[in-house]
A and B are shown apart, each in its own frame.
Chain A
Amino acid sequence: MIKWQKTLLKLGALATVLTLAGCSTAKSNGSAQGNNPGKTIKIGVNMELSGSAAGYGQQQKQGIQLAVNKINQAGGIKVGQSKKKIQLVIRDNKTSNTTAASVAAQLVNNDKVVAVVGPAATNAGTASIPNMTKAEVPSVSPSATDPGYTLQKNGTVQKYIFRACFQNNYQGSSAATFMTKNLKAKNVAILTDNSSDYGTGLTKAFKQSYTGKIVSSQTFQEGDKDFNAILTALKHKRIDAIYAPGYYSELGLIIKQARQAGINVPIVGSDGMADAKLTKIAGKANTSNIYYTTPFSTKAGETNAQAASFLKAYRAKYHTTAPTFSALAYDSVYMIKSAIESEHSANSVKITTGLAHLKNFKGVTGTITMNQHHNPEKSMVIEKLTNGRVSQAYTIK
């Protein structure tokens, strides 16, 4: 499997080089840098709409469409004297790195978009960077959490690459602090989704900042359904808590099987868990003593006006509580809008400047200031679930 992926990656790199070679000749007409808007502001969506990450990609698409509809209903984005509407160009990258790269090329060269939202996953995002940079079009990923995503190999920032979510180091270390200080956990076990950079990155960050003893560190794969063997082995070890960074589809099963096996210690996870489906999979009675770090609390509606209106609009359209991924994608669109307004231009290079200088942007997932590494700085929330409901939210600054 891995070898197969490597071959694909190589082919992808080749394809990228070829596309780039093609576009460098096509784009030599001189004039202004980057892409300019026409009658409408074209925003591209490079998203995982099919394949293994399609669940997250679809949720993000919903968030993006919700945001765009809302902006267009209000007349569009003010650029200079007139208001222009947003036109979305949605393309599926099939959760494939090579496709993500070619989708990026298509969006910037053929569709002439001025900004891109996506991809959802770090790997697909990284594969698209060369094409985005070449065309000088910014991209905002709602959920690429790898710390290296917005950085070049030498540590300088990728000029055109932004994200709306936390990067792993911050989230992992916050979980470590929370487990030591609030849960007083001295011995923990770690269960990592090692099929994604997300899971492994969070575990790495957690291990670096956790001061207690790590009794056992186990891994699982995306799509696994049976965790009984790992959990039975953990049951007879002395542990105060479990740290399990991953997505709700597997975490729901881990929670269910852990509680059924009689493991009742707190289980702490990350924002991939923040989804109403978690409780549905795990079962209400099992979902107690569960914590996760998240940028967006569904309780946020009580204090944050943006979040309240977003939650309401989402429920009206999709008849369910908005998941974190939709909220992050929604914010990504509004971040681009805010950048266009502050620069008074929808030229792609200007939008990049606007995104880099984003300050005190009031989003659904908190008040965001973009730092020099293109990571959003916002406060983190840790939610506690009791009987499947959020019973408490701790804010970490």
Chain B
Amino acid sequence: MQTFGQQLINGLSLGSIYALLALGYTMVYGIIKLINFAHGDIYMLGAFWGYYVINGLHFNFIFAMLSAMIFCALVGVLIEYFAYRPLRHSPRITALITAIGVSFLLENTMTYFFSANTRNFPQVITTVTYHVLGLHISNIQLLILGTACLLMLLLEIIIKRTKMGKAMRAVSVDPEAAQLVGINLNHTISFTFALGSAMAGAAGVLIGLYYNSIDPLMGMTPGIKAFVAAVIGGIGSVPGASVGGFLIGLLETGVQAVGLSAYKDAVVYVVLIVILLVLPAGIFGKKTKEKV
């Protein structure tokens, strides 16, 4: 029972990171039908930003995270402006390949300028492990869970309660009709990228603090896992991405807990295939009939 509880904590902390990343994928997909493969690398940039502002400018954790969110939001907007906007009317596959290209560009530029070495993240918050009912839970795990839930809640409010959120929803339903009623398409799309990238930036700093190790390729695997999480949850659906993220985290932990660590990635992808076969639109996805 204790082991089970402990594994649940492990799974939830891992899942909250996937969820934060999956949100960025799902929002961008929802609005311009583009799978932004560079998203995982924005998360890496967030972690590196945190590393430098904490080491160089002695920011505390909160400021480091907030500044990383702003920085990543800017990077996201710039990437959209320079790489994706010129391709908005080209076939979807062109934009997809560009996204992969942007991802490689970010990874290799970082490797070139900052070396591929793994660095240790400055430990601005000392780890304290609490023992509750025989379970170990650290303050950093609580921080990750708390921040992730808070950000997801904030996002939900922005999307459901603000004017910009309303515009985002409108654009995702029908971009042309949205333009007709006076919504600025470019601003809305930029805002979506900013929001998604800010989430990734926060995740980067949280992960840096939690694992204490960052490198230019750290975004690759979590990026793909988060993409899977977004698809499982129903790509385009915001609550779906959160649920998908936690699900993947728990699944991975569960597989390792029963001693099948060699298959942990395989199981995640098998579940993806099964979901795509049984529920092609994902758990929270809307079934839409293609109009001909």
A residues apposed to B, CB below 8 Å? 50-52, 54-55, 57-58, 194, 216, 218-221, 223-226, 228-230, 232-233, 235-236, 248-249, 252-253, 256, 260-262, 277, 280-281, 283
In the complex where A194-B262, A216-B259, A260-B127 touch, is A232 in contact with B6 (Cβ < 8 A)?
A: yes
Interface size class of B (residues with CB under 8 A): 35 or more
In the complex, chain B residues whose CB is within 8 Å of the CB of A232: 3, 6-7, 10, 257
In the complex, chain A residues whose CB is within 8 Å of the CB of B6: 232, 261
B253 near A50: Cβ-Cβ < 8 Å: no
Give the residue name and chain of the B residue nearest to A237 (CB).
Answer: B259
Q: How far is the CA of A223 from the CA of B218 in the complex (A)?
A: 7
A236 near B3: Cβ-Cβ < 8 Å: yes
CB-based closest 10 A-B pairs: A54-B116, A229-B256, A280-B120, A228-B10, A249-B118, A229-B253, A218-B261, A225-B211, A219-B262, A232-B6
Q: How far is the CA of A57 from the CA of B11 in the complex (A)?
A: 34
Q: How far is the CA of A54 from the CA of B257 in the complex (A)?
A: 32
Q: How far is the CA of A277 from the CA of B116 in the complex (A)?
A: 13
- Whether B123 sits at the interface, judged by CB under 8 Å, is yes
A249 near B213: Cβ-Cβ < 8 Å: yes
A55 near B116: Cβ-Cβ < 8 Å: yes
In the complex, chain A residues whose CB is within 8 Å of the CB of B118: 55, 248-249, 252, 277, 281
B207 near A233: Cβ-Cβ < 8 Å: no
Q: Which of B112-141 contact A (CB under 8 A)?
A: 112, 115-120, 123, 127, 129, 136, 138
B211 near A54: Cβ-Cβ < 8 Å: no
In the complex, chain B residues whose CB is within 8 Å of the CB of A225: 207, 211, 213, 218
Q: How far is the CA of A228 from the CA of B137 in the complex (A)?
A: 11
A281 near B212: Cβ-Cβ < 8 Å: yes
- Whether B75 sits at the interface, judged by CB under 8 Å, is no
In the complex where A218-B259, A218-B261 touch, is A50 in contact with B111 (Cβ < 8 A)?
A: yes
Q: How far is the CA of A23 from the CA of B215 in the complex (A)?
A: 39
B residues apposed to A, CB below 8 Å? 3, 6-7, 10-11, 13-14, 108, 111-112, 115-120, 123, 127, 129, 136, 138, 207, 211-213, 215, 217-218, 220-221, 252-259, 261-262, 265
Quote the shortest CB–CB distance from A216 to chain B (angstroms): 6
Count of A-B contacts judged by CB separation below 8 Å = 102
B138 near A260: Cβ-Cβ < 8 Å: yes
A233 near B259: Cβ-Cβ < 8 Å: yes
A281 near B116: Cβ-Cβ < 8 Å: no
The listed residue (A58, A219, A221, A236) touching B117 by CB distance below 8 A is A58
The listed residue (A52, A57, A224, A280) touching B217 by CB distance below 8 A is A52
Quote the shortest CB–CB distance from A181 to chain B (angstroms): 29
The listed residue (B14, B220, B261) touching A219 by CB distance below 8 A is B261
In the complex, chain A residues whose CB is within 8 Å of the CB of B257: 229, 232-233
Quote the shortest CB–CB distance from A253 to chain B (angstroms): 6
In the complex, chain A residues whose CB is within 8 Å of the CB of B116: 50-51, 54-55, 57-58
In the complex where A230-B256, A281-B118 touch, is A50 in contact with B213 (Cβ < 8 A)?
A: no
Give the residue name and chain of the B residue nearest to A50 (CB).
Answer: B111
The listed residue (B120, B252, B261) touching A277 by CB distance below 8 A is B120
In the complex, chain A residues whose CB is within 8 Å of the CB of B111: 50, 54
Q: Which of B13, B127, B212, B218: most chain A CB closer than 10 A?
A: B212
Q: How far is the CA of A236 from the CA of B6 in the complex (A)?
A: 12
B117 near A253: Cβ-Cβ < 8 Å: no
Give the residue name and chain of the A residue nearest to B6 (CB).
Answer: A232
In the complex, chain A residues whose CB is within 8 Å of the CB of B13: 228
Quote the shortest CB–CB distance from B150 to chain A (angstroms): 22
Quote the shortest CB–CB distance from A391 to chain B (angstroms): 21
B212 near A226: Cβ-Cβ < 8 Å: no
Q: How far is the CA of A321 from the CA of B112 in the complex (A)?
A: 23
In the complex, chain A residues whose CB is within 8 Å of the CB of B261: 218-220, 229-230
A260 near B129: Cβ-Cβ < 8 Å: yes
B117 near A223: Cβ-Cβ < 8 Å: no
Quote the shortest CB–CB distance from A332 to chain B (angstroms): 21
Q: How far is the CA of A248 from the CA of B117 in the complex (A)?
A: 11
Q: How far is the CA of A221 from the CA of B224 in the complex (A)?
A: 15
B117 near A233: Cβ-Cβ < 8 Å: no
Give the residue name and chain of the A residue nearest to B14 (CB).
Answer: A226
Other A-B contacts than A220-B261, A256-B212, 13 sampled, CB-CB below 8 A, are A50-B111, A218-B259, A218-B261, A219-B261, A219-B262, A223-B217, A228-B10, A228-B253, A232-B257, A249-B213, A249-B215, A252-B118, A260-B138
In the complex where A230-B256, A233-B259, A277-B117 touch, is A261 in contact with B136 (Cβ < 8 A)?
A: yes
Q: How far is the CA of A235 from the CA of B3 in the complex (A)?
A: 9
Listed A/B pairs (9) with beta-carbon separation below 8 Å: A50-B111, A50-B116, A220-B261, A224-B221, A229-B10, A229-B261, A233-B259, A262-B136, A281-B212
Q: How far is the CA of A220 from the CA of B260 in the complex (A)?
A: 10
Q: Which of B117, B129, B256: most chain A CB closer than 10 A?
A: B256
In the complex, chain B residues whose CB is within 8 Å of the CB of A249: 118, 213, 215
Quote the shortest CB–CB distance from A8 to chain B (angstroms): 15
